[in-house]
Structure 1
Amino acid sequence: MLEQSLALPNAEWPYFQILIRLVLSLALGLLIGLERERRKKEAGLRTFGFICLLGALGGSLGPAFALVILLLTGMLAVFLNVQTLRAGQGTELTTSAAMLVTAVAGILCGQGHTISPAAVMVIATALLAWKERLAGFSMGLTESELRSALLLAILAIVIYPALPVGAVGPWHLVEPRAAWVTVILIAGIGFVNYVLWKVYGTRGTELSGFLGGLVNSNFTVIELSSRIGQGAEALVPPTYRSILLATTAMIARNASLLLILAPITLLGSFAPFALMMATSLLLVVWSYYRRAPAEAAAVAEINLDLPFSLPQALKYGAVFLLLHIVGGVTQRQFGDVGFYFVSVVGGLMSSASAVAAAAALAAQGSLSPTVAGTGAVLASFTSIVFSLSFVLRTRSRGLIGRLAGAMACIALAGLAGVAASQAVQPWVAQWLPDLAELQAHGAASPKR
């Protein structure tokens, strides 16, 4: 009886299938073990390879054996820490956690998973390899920046699930969750690009302008042009390129919002956005290659606000809801012309919110994708003109003249794109119903 209870289960394993699982587990174990070996840790290449192989065998044998492998890996981690403490080297908590992650990934490989364990092990290896960079980044964070990140997480994880689903109000014009997703999306883009600006923004005026334009193009233009107002005429050429790059970043951000919130809307406005970005980049490249050899290489620092704050969230939310409601009402009462007027006015307040409102109306079916896309282009036009007004305050004829000509070229390129879109609209309209149906089906399907 005892021999029968201790007997291992017999199973016929498919040779190639189990071989692929074991090879994958060994490769993943060697991946993270290579990083530990490079740092001269006690548990290195062979140890992590064995752990992942054991996990794959345990996952293939069944849940009971998988739990045994996890227990054995935990005991091995305890033994490793005891050894390092006796040697006076402190604990190896990071390596111990990596060993447990490796065992779980091996178990997943043994159960037939491929993408999940591979993604986990790549992420774990990256966390180990980027130790110094992550530590330096975390130590460089200010308390205000950390609070901003926590606030963004609260808005996305705590408040969003508590909002009602579907349209509310007597006219069903407001969808709280859709509005909140837009707020989180715009703030998230600003937060990510704020991090990029903080890491790379002081390495050059042009790079600062581009990354600053992703966060807030108008504020970036104000900061850049203020240097010219202080008498730094030598900064005119790099400031010209920086403002153009900030404009390019604003256009790219607005196009990305359309792509994320209502991909079908970008179909009719792709030509204007693409031509405006291409024209702006060509002007930057032309100016760069025509720069004088003795051109000043001074760096204009851009003092952006915090990446995310509660007033900023309320501003985005209020502007989005206002444009969403007014845009829907004016479109019903005055047709497409009324919506275009709201888009132009909205571009003065926040082009990102105006574009997001147009995309939301198109996603709900209140606007046609072509009209919503054209409204997004008009909001971008308004933002460009509004940015140019800040440059006029510098009274620098060189900068004003060059930027006025450049902005005129960008606007003409956008108008040419709108005309091209209108020309191909009958052809695109044949495909829009099918694309809209696919988009609606994708939005209605349950998320897994």
Structure 2
Amino acid sequence: MSSIPTIAAVTATAQVVPDWPYLEMLTRFALALALGLLIGLERERRKKEAGLRTFGFIAVLGAVGASLGDTYAYIVLCLTGLLTVFLNLQDMRTHEGTELTTSAAMLVTCIAGILCGKGHTLTPAAIMVSSTALLAWKDILQGFSIGLTEGELRSALLLAILAIVIYPALPIGSIGPMGLIQPRAAWATVILIAGIGFVNYVLWKAFGTRGVAIAGFLGGLVNSSVTVNELASRIGVQAAGAVAAAAYRGILLATAAMVMRNAVILALLAPAVAVAGTGAFAGMLAASAFFVFARRRGPALQTPPGADPQDNQIMLPFSLWSALKYGLVFLLLHIVGVLTQKYFGNAGFYLVSVLGGAVSSASAVAAAASLAADGKLTLEAAATGAILASLASVAINLPFVLRVPNRRFVMSIALAMVVIAACGLGGLLLGAPLAQLVTEQLPQLSQLYPGH
């Protein structure tokens, strides 16, 4: 009789544990297996001790352990750790080395399998795809890190500090008298502009110098005035042939890059204002593209023989001075823009936009977007100010070209810039109808700007 309660207790305990849903668990295990095979395939191709089958088993084992419970998941993770120790001991005995990268990949695979067993899908998939990419791009990453200079590393760390450490610590909203100072908005502008410059530098580093045309476009993303000045100075030495043709296209591409950069900044910070300024920005880009490709039948766009390739390199991607300069210009334009708009109306803000565009069109465009987002400017006024800043940036580059002794070159560039500015002014006249269209057809965007 004493055995009857024992059997009943066992039966009751067995009934507490539910059956696993077959299709759901099969999906989890299949995902874990697929992810394990993905990273195992890369290890197999490199002829590592742990390859396709090993990583597949580890991922499935992690999924099964997580399905049984957290305790089993920890046990599976510990067993995987012991397996990596055995792998390294075996490799040290046979090859006098270690498999640290493969060991780390095995632990990551086990954790991804555990996540799959718990029902996660996108997270383990993203982890495994990223890990496989890191393994597959070993040669590329190694070559990039070896060629990385100390100054470039400091620039990357500085950008990370500005974006991750300082930005979250800044106060939200306006501070100071009349709410003139917006620390986060200014810092966001610094990060945005610096990020564009940093990506530009990485592309330059990865693909090298492919001619003055690429130099002009990539340089224009950072600072079109500096780029135009540098290209124009080369014409002073060799004022004809391939050099003049290359500089011609490089200057126009720098101008197009400046317009494109300003349009992107405006679209990111104030989408409705960007829509209102679409006509002007599109017209300026179309005119730039026309003059660039109209000279395709001219001399080859290449670096002249005997030129030093280092002359085409740009500055370091980021520096503390450039960050402070952009932030200071943005704050000054924001403060002056608020005051002039308040006491002198839109005409005062337009004057500030023109002056700011001559100094830093990116900061002037960001300031116009910020004022519109705060409701201190109407949509039409902000779009007009951003366009005027871009036109001022085009105009300020012309004196750099006028000093070139080649009159034909000067006339060609001057004609192109005049047409580009005229297209921008023509698009500016369409700003009011486009702004009205935004207000009527896209109310969700116009509601972002309560001042409109």
TM-score under structure 2 length normalisation: 0.91
Give the counterpart letter for 2:244 in structure 1.
V
Partner in structure 1 of residue 316 of structure 2: 306
Does the alignment pair 1:243 with 2:247?
no
Mapped to 1, the partners of 2:65 and 2:380 lie a distance apart of 56
Which of 139, 146, 150 pairs up with 1:139? 146
Residue of structure 2 in register with 1:446 after alignment: none
| Pairing partner for 1:197 from 195, 200, 204 | 204
1:89 and 1:417, CA in 2 relative to 1: closer, same or farther beyond 3 A?
Answer: farther
Tell me how far apart the structure 2 counterparts of residues 363 and 63 of structure 1 sit (CA, whole Å): 48
Amino acid at match of 1:41: K
Q: Which has the larger radius of gyration?
A: 2
Q: In 2, Cα distance between the equivalents of 1:112 and 1:185?
A: 37
1:237-386 paired onto structure 2 within 5 Å: 237-288=245-296, 290-292=297-299, 298=304, 301-386=311-396
Say if 2:59 and 2:112, in contact at 8 Å, map to a contact too. Answer: yes
Render the CA deviation track for 1:337-386: whole Å, top value 9, x for unaligned: 11111111001110111111111111111112222122111111111111
* Superposition map of 1:29-428 within 5 A: 29-234=36-241, 235-288=243-296, 290-292=297-299, 298=304, 301-428=311-438
Paired residues of 2:253 and 2:292 also in contact (CA < 8 A):
yes
Counterpart in the other structure of 2:3: none
Quote the sequence identity (%): 59
**1:357 corresponds to which letter in structure 2?**
A
**How many Å separate the matches in 1 of 2:437 and 2:267?**
21
* One-letter amino acid matched to 1:211: L
**CA apart distance, 1:432:** 5.2
Letter in 2 for 1:283: F
Q: 1:272, CA displacement in angstroms?
A: 1.5
Give the count of matched residue pairs.
Answer: 436
**SS of alignment partner, residue 148 of structure 1:** helix
Q: Aligned in 2, Cα 1:153/1:426: closer, same or farther, shift over 3 Å?
A: closer
Instruction: Kindly provide the amino acid, as one letter, of the partner of residue 310 in structure 1.
Output: L
Cα displacement string for residues 129-148 of structure 1 (whole angstroms, at most 9, x for unaligned residues): 11111111111111112111
* Partner Cα separation in structure 2 for residue 80 and residue 100 of structure 1: 13
CA distance in 2, matches of 1:206, 1:8: 74
TM-score (norm 1): 0.91
Q: 1:102 Cα shift? A: 1.2
Q: Deviations over 1:145-182 (max 9, x none)?
A: 21111122222222223222221111111111221111
Letter of the 2:254 partner, please give it: A
Instruction: Flag structure 1 segments of 5+ consecutive residues without an equivalent.
Output: 441-448
Q: Which amino acid aligns with 1:229?
A: G
Structure 2 contact 174–180 (Cα < 8 Å) conserved? yes
Which deviates further from its counterpart, 295-304 or 77-86? 295-304
Displacement after TM superposition at 1:397 (Å) = 1.4
Query: Using the alignment, how far apart are the partners of 1:159 and 1:295 within structure 2?
Result: 43
Contact 2:80–2:110 (8 Å) recurs in 1: yes
